[in-house]
Structure 1
Amino acid sequence: MFYMNMNAIVAMAGMIAVLMLTRKWSANKRVLMIIFNLCFLLLFSKKLCLFYAAYTLINYGGFVYLCRTALWRKATFIFGIAANVVGVFLGVRLYVMDVLHNPLFDAIIYLGLIYNVLKVIDSYYFAYFFGKDGQVPLIDYANYILFVPTFTSGPILKFRDFMADSKKPYTVDAALFEDSIKRIILGMFKKIVVVTWMTGIFDHVLKQDLHTHQSLFLLVWFYAVIYFDFSGYSDMAIGFGRLMGYTMPENFKRPFLSPTMTQFWRNWHATLGDFFRDHIFMFFSRSVPSRWVAAGLSVLIMVLMGLWHGFTWLYFLYGLYHGVIIAIENLLKITTVNKKKVSKTYFYFRCFVTQALVTFSVIIYSSNYETVLRIYKGLLHFS
């Protein structure tokens, strides 16, 4: 992860200083950013830089063709998305099977490919629906794919929003600068201090013989660790991204005050939930609008989101678990709760139920079968 590397932090800080010093040059953000993105990846790994240069050029070719062509348009759209998705999932599966275990493949998987595939898909959607009006220069497309602040950890940027920002001159006022620096410091504190301390306690308790109260503690504690870890990375990415002149979407929107699982996934890793909802749920539910279709799509989306985190049975079951709950909410028409229209007691009770359901499953993020089974077995050890 770039944000755990002091050289990467210094490089991004230096880039921000250069942007501020050249703010009178109207094209500084576009030109200097592509140079920075490529040089950053090149210094990090020459092979990684070469891979992403080729990956970006190939997908830009598909993007331009989709913008311009009227022949086999839908087929091209589907093929472009399928090629990216199948390539990633096949690669991850081979990695899990230890077939492609080498430094280059490790870097490609862990340093952004899964995030970047989602961005490529968003660009293909844009090209498909806007045609010639959606075409953008290669420099802006490459900056979108290779944007360093969100390269490894999100938030997931929307193609339309990024292109709109690319057309604007670089402007960072004192208020934005102060707020962004505070976000970066907060993110570092969460990740370096809080997560490190909490992980040590989690590991210490996990080594003991687990009983019900200890397993409950570990479930709640790990939920907090994951929150501080994920939100810490997001805070740093948002801070650095805004200082480089781009609008960064919020990724965590008070998820603990979500009264339903549907609303939880609009507030927890919000950009990921938005992506799947915009590109799958809205796309297919418009043609056959019904509660049963919505329920089925909810299960599909959550399974895909689970597999997005990791191509294992644990993540499949994690996605299925959340998908079934959201499907039930759709069928019972209880996907949302308006805080202003219900009593505080009822609202917070629903929040408690939702958080209990999330807490029970979040240990799967540990990606360790033995850890997951030990903690779940410990729940049944009352004595």
Structure 2
Amino acid sequence: MFRPLSIFVGLRYTRAKRRNHFISFISLTSMIGLALGVLAMIVVLSVMNGFQQEMSSRILGMVSHATLSADKPLDDWKAVADAAMKNPEVTGAVPFAELEGMISFKGAMQPLQVNGIDPQEEPKVSIIGQHMVQGSLDDLKAEQFGVVLGEITARRFGLRLGDKVTLIVPELSSAPGGITPRMQRLTVVGLFKVGAELDGSLALVHIADAGEIQRLQPGQVQSVRLALKDLYRAPEVSAAIAGGLGQGYRADDWTHTQGSLFSAMKMEKTMIGLLLMLIIAVAAFNIIATLIMVVADKRADIAILRTLGATPRQVMAIFMVQGSVIGCIGTLIGGVLGVLAAINISSLIAWVEGALGMRILSSDLYFISSLPSKLEVSDVVLICAVALILSFLATLYPAWRASRTEPAEALRYE
């Protein structure tokens, strides 16, 4: 079967057992280094994707995707909700209130965000009902001033169901300071745990009780909370709905409250990816060293090929083929092992925990108790493509050096 001279000789050099075992060792380490770099990048980026998905589902499943409000309290929130539901991107619209205050218990105090919700409507826009560890949302009754707290808040204060806490919220007044504190006694009727910082910063009360604390008229609500199919389109969708409702309506969305967190996570993924890319770059430099030593070892062979009619371009292609084969094999091995490791990382960590008899990710210390992983094909393709490109670029200089070999000079002392 006919094969081009460059490919034929380049593959023979790759397969042949070299007289210089040090060169063979450097070639092997280059291949292993490239494989380890690709494997590490695939696994780490998959774990970071898993963390981001886990945090998105928990945090963004609790906070409002978007809210609609007006210059004054809404007298007929159902009309606003019905108008919002006409948008195909909206999956739920419920009454909502939001207060900033502090909770006090036995002299200890902590700032909290207090959300007023309708327990019957809340499952349409939130996952809170799936994460109740004690009590339920149905225990929030109008005019009974019950409160559902996060597990971290309850543990910090030593609270149990039935305990009484004091909610302190600021209120505008005609006093000299302009603001006076308003206090309201609340009864703990439920605890939730979503495994995020919201467990220590969020509390839920009935929408009617929130209205009374805000001194609204019966039936009035502060805003309407929306749940969207694609939460990353929240700014444009909510703005379009508010514009359609008429003048005086405004929209807010999760990017104003949680956007910095997810921007930081995205930046962290990018920076870690760049750092891990250095492993692949080091392996590529090893390919350069390997080929330079091969060129020095094969000077006589190169000279003979030149005297037999091989052109400098063919000689250059020989060593480009050899280096590219090392890169392809290392990338292939690393890609396969990386995909397998990313898919089975959770099971592997569980096995290690069982073998060591200890928890690596304890739910008492971390928001999650298992290592999540989400393998994305785009990440695998990008990582393998970068590894192949760096491997190819690493062959250019040694191959060019080989093509510059002068036959007479190389054979002078042979």
For the superposition of Structure 1 and Structure 2, which TM-score range results when normalised by the shorter chain?
Answer: under 0.3
Larger radius of gyration: 2
More helix by share: 1
> TM-score, normalised on structure 2?
0.20
